[in-house]
Amino acid sequence: MATRTEATPEVGTAADLADRAARSIPGGVNSPVRAFRSVGLPPVFAESARGSQVHASGGRTYIDYIGSWGPMILGHAHPEIVEAVVRAAERGTSFGLATQEEVLFAEEIRAAVPSMDRVRLVSSGTEATMSAIRLARAATGRDVVVKFDGCYHGHADGLLVAAGSGAATFGVPDSPGVPRAYAACTAVAPFNDLPALARLFEARGEEIAAVIVEPVAGNMGCVPPGEGFLHGLRDLCRSTGALLILDEVMTGFRLAYGGAQELYGLTPDLTCLGKIVGGGLPLAAYGGRADLMDRVSPAGPVYQAGTLSGNPLAVAAGRAMLRLLREEGVYARLEEASAFLEAALLAEIPADVPARLQRVGSMLTLFFRREPVVDFATARASDLGAFRAFYGAMLDQGILLPPSQFEAWFVSLAHSHDDLSRTAQAAGRALARLPRDG
Ligand SMILES: *Cc1c(COP(=O)(O)O)cnc(C)c1O
């Protein structure tokens, strides 16, 4: 049994802190990827962050491309967002009542993403996808949801599902604790493979409530949709009565103000938002067609609720974020910085190192593989040993990348050309140390 002791302000070295963390928190972290296990390094403990930089416990400063896994598109601790949160806190941190601010915020989200006639605020991306799927099942009277191998939609039971044997089949639990019966309600198809999806619809079309997809996959590293993939999905859903759920938790307000659906000219039935929309506070949203959303409680019978939903601090941060993103030229500047980093990195990749850079807007991944990465199978064929060596060499040089081959790096508006050049030069040195082809 734990005894009550005074917290010790000075824990010691980063390794001491990690040991101590593991005694109180499973694996020492509150979300698994923060443990840095896939790169075989001790976790970085953040102390503070500003702009493009993270200051870690132990005194090191890094140029950061994790960006809190997406929200920090303006860089860390943007003064206007901080001020909005402080001012909101002074008025009360939570009411459990409707507020004027959340109404204005919903109007702003609808204006940004016109396919969202109605929007419901929740507290995490997981909640958004889970709720959108419940609604899709209720609206269609069908149980099966199709997801793509390598796409991540949060940790709800029905989404922690891996492909079974054979392409596009019944899913199997991807975590202990997920009932087989839940996993059997999820079918898993390979990303970017329309023919496989068409076969799945032929076999089980009448059972399929919805297809959920990351329009640009970011959770297996950055994998763009192939030509015609997203519109093919749209057509397949429309012709079979299934709903298309676009999971824009990562891409929303990142690839364009209106998300990937603006970029690709796509109209989903339901959309999930998270990360950027909350300005770095715990806030996410789902929404879409009015006839669907009006089935959500209390307008309709599909239950969904949340004590902290539409939390005033999170709404204030989200509104400040969206206001800043509406400023002239924001996305052009972000694209310019991202293209600058891409070009600088490409110039540093030696011809005999099997590596490939994939980028869509401000999401990019350096895969340790020569051939295109189009789905999870090809992503997994990357040289993870090379990634690990590269990662360690980058961290040594003060560059903080997401600690997994299967994640996207995020460029923010706070990254200066100097930051980006230094990053590319560090990459050049890290790559020069790797083992070569042949
Ligand atoms: C991060 C993410 C989620 C989950 O969001 P949480 O807020 O971590 O629950 C869902 N979908 C996508 C595409 C994500 O990138």
Say if CB 247 and CB 281 are below 8 A apart.
no
Q: Which residues pair with 221 in a beta bridge?
A: 219
| Tokens 């040991």 found at | 19
Is 394 in contact with 427 (CB distance < 8 Å)?
yes
**Which residue among 152, 264, 286, 391 is the active-site one?**
152
Dist CA 169 CA 43 (whole Å)? 37
Q: Which residue has a Cα nearest atom 10 of ligand 1?
A: 153
pLDDT digits (tens, 9 = 90+) for 145-176: 999 999 999 999 999 998 776 555 678 898 99
Closest ligand 1 atom, residue 154 Cα: 4
Residues 359 and 408: beta-carbon distance below 8 Å: no
The model's confidence at residue 308, banded by pLDDT at 50, 70 and 90, is very high
In the numeric block, the tokens 């403990």 are attached to 45
Residue 4 has pLDDT above 70, yes or no: no
Mean pLDDT of the chain: 95
Set out the domains of the chain in order of their start, with CATH numbers.
Answer: 14-77+329-432 (3.90.1150.10), 79-325 (3.40.640.10)
- 267 has a pLDDT exceeding 60: yes
Residue 2 has pLDDT above 60, yes or no: no
376 alpha carbon to ligand 1 midpoint, in Å? 17
Which atom of ligand 1 is nearest the CA belonging to 275? 7
pLDDT given at position 263: 98
Would you say the CB of residue 247 lies under 6 angstroms from ligand 1? yes
Q: Using the predicted structure, report yes or no on whether residue 272 has a pLDDT greater than 80.
A: yes
Question: Is 391 an annotated catalytic residue?
Answer: no
SS3 assignment for 299-322: CCCECCCCCCCCCHHHHHHHHHHH
For a mutational test of ligand 1's pocket, the pick from 249, 250, 255, i.e. the residue with the most ligand atoms closer than 8 A to its C-beta, is: 249
pTM: 0.95
**Residue 36: what are its φ and ψ, rounded to 5°?**
60, 25
- Please tell me whether residue 44 adopts helix, strand or coil conformation: coil
Distance of CA 338 to the CA centre of its chain: 18
Per DSSP bridges, beta strands 356-360 and 284-288 are unpaired
| CA neighbor of 109 nearest in space, from 262, 295, 273 | 273
* pLDDT for residue 1: 45
* 179-232 pLDDT, tens digit each: 999 999 999 999 999 999 999 999 999 999 999 999 999 999 999 999 999 999
Task: Decide: helix, strand or coil at residue 156.
Answer: coil
147: annotated active-site residue = no
Structure tokens at 20: 């101590």
State mean pLDDT over 64-90.
Answer: 98
> Is a pLDDT exceeding 60 seen at residue 393?
yes
DSSP H helical segments within 25-167, as ranges?
A: 79-91, 100-112, 125-140
- Closest ligand 1 atom to 284 CA: 7
Helix H or strand E segment including 423? helix 417-432
- Please state the rounded mean pLDDT for residues 399-411: 98
Distance separating alpha carbons of residues 27 and 48, to the nearest angstrom: 22
pLDDT band at 438 (very low <50, low <70, confident <90, very high): very low
The tokens for 258 are 């209106």
Closest by Cα among 275, 251, 276, 270 to 262: 251
Check residue 165 and give its pLDDT: 64
Average of pLDDT values for 110-119? Answer: 98
pLDDT tens per residue, range 8-48: 456 667 778 999 999 999 999 999 999 999 999 999 999 99
- Please report the pLDDT score of residue 344 as a whole number: 98
Q: Which two tokens stand for residue 131?
A: 């709720």
Task: Kindly state the average pLDDT of the residues 320-346.
Answer: 98
Mean predicted confidence (pLDDT) in 102-130: 98
pLDDT at 12 (0 to 100)? 65
Calculate Rg over the CA atoms of the chain. Answer: 22
Residues in the chain: 438
How do beta strands 399-400 and 169-173 pair? unpaired
